[in-house]
Amino acid sequence: MTDRQTQALSMAFLHEYALDKQRGLSEDEQQILDRTKILFQQADEVIIYLGGKSGRLGECIVETGLLNATLQTLQATGKAGTQVTIFVDDGVIELFDEPLYQQHYWPQIHIIASATSMVETDTQPANGKHRLVIDFHGGHDGMPILHVEESNTDSSRSLLAYLFRVGVRSYAQRGPARRYADFVEELFSLPQGTINSEKAQPGILLAPEDDARYARLSRELCMDSEAIQIVCFFQSVVLAKCYERWDEVMQLLCEYLAQHSPAQKVDFLIACGPDNDLPEGFKQADMEEWLQPFTGVNNNARVLICSLPSLRDLALLIKHATLVLANDTGPGHIAGALGIHTVTPYLPGNIYSQQVWSSTLWHHGVTLEQHTLTFRELEAAVLWGKTDIINSIPPQDLHNAIHACLPLVRLFPAHEVEASASAGSVSLLAKACLIRPELGVPACSNC
């Protein structure tokens, strides 16, 4: 008969440590982290859970920052090649291409779609083997706990449970560059700098051959290859996050382009989600009534409205965009994870905190910095679906954010500018140099 010993250790202290690293760690707290380090080093098999509460897309995408930090840690500690199984919510699985992860990291990584958010804890590792389960799932809310189960067969099964709240929310206080790297380094008691913070960010892997599919999608949607491509997500299942002044932001951008680059066109591709998930007033027909007639200044803009059932197709469109304009919603996290500048209005306060949900280095959040709103007022807006607070963000502030995050040539994807230069084409480079003259950037020799 196998004799098992179990132990549960609270790691709630990581919340306070995330907020104030100067607080230090007690001897008992450090011993717990040293224990997690040993368990990590011993692990023959690592199981990772990703997903969102009620299937939320955004939470799952944000968790890839923690996933990438963990896989980096395995590499940095000489454990590349460890058997890793990643369970992902089945509604998001198409964004997790197993062969791409195997190419990017190592072949022993396997990705499995999960229809349940439950962490499997019944099966035992083989004799003499050590399994570590890491629970990043957003549907498992609570303070972190380390569960350790050891047997007389010299095998062990350890579970780091309820990591989402602290790993995503608390460690956001460390800033966008270090939030994910700091959490994983401190979780496993590793030296600071073990993890490359630029790589420990949310990310989605796409294959080069996906470009052929993008070309077909762009033709089907009648996109203009010469226009600036801006992908827009103006819906949200949370009505209080639905900004109703995007048309004013679009108009300001079109006025700017008309003044500085009169021949330049812009396509606003408004991607819509399933109607049954959305509040009244923000379904696809509402988007069409609101924004389809928009033509900018002297017809320098088009609005294309579509619904894409495939998240991977959506990711392809985003990857080739110049810019994304998005409410605080799941597809905006896809954009940031793909390295596309994403401008987003956020509710003030901590219910949907900009600090937490501006989740990548590519997010450019705008909120009401100076406000007198109480928590109860913000909570009421969310509960009762009131948009007056989010709508009080001035469109000019979002317009300013667009220009702050898009230096001269970034109004065009870098790969297009480089390809244009290599081909000796002057049109794209000339347009790029004309759009932001006030930056004082010297004109290129091709202009």
DSSP 232-257: EE---SSGGG--S-HHHHHHHHHHHH
The whole-model pTM stands at: 0.89
Residue of 199, 330, 340, 189 lying closest to 272 (CA atoms): 330
Which tens digit of pLDDT belongs to each residue from 167-182?
A: 999 999 999 999 999 9
Look at domain 210-406 and name its CATH class: alpha beta
Note the pLDDT of residue 447: 30
DSSP-assigned states of every residue in 412-436: S-HHHHHHHHHTT--HHHHHHHHH-
Taking CA atoms, 348 is separated from 233, 282, 309, 391, in Å, by 20, 22, 32, 12
Task: Look up residue 186 and give its amino acid.
Answer: E
Q: Average pLDDT of 140-148?
A: 95
Which tens digit of pLDDT belongs to each residue from 213-263?
A: 898 999 999 999 999 999 999 999 999 999 999 999 999 999 999 998 899
Q: Domain spans of the chain?
A: 4-187, 210-406
Q: Average pLDDT of 295-305?
A: 97
Q: Average pLDDT of 64-90?
A: 96
* Interacting residues of 179 by C-beta distance below 8 A, sequence separation 6+: 65, 171, 172, 173
User: How far is Cα 387 from Cα 35, in angstroms, rounded to an integer?
Assistant: 48
Per-residue confidence band for 55, with pLDDT thresholds at 50, 70 and 90 = confident
14-18, 152-156, 302-306, 425-429: which has the minimum mean pLDDT?
Answer: 425-429
CB 105 within 8 A of CB 79: no
CB 435 within 8 A of CB 411: yes
**Bridge-based pairing state of the strands 323-326 and 228-233:** parallel
Note the pLDDT of residue 253: 95
Task: Look up residue 271 and give its amino acid.
Answer: A
Per-residue confidence band for 444, with pLDDT thresholds at 50, 70 and 90 = very low
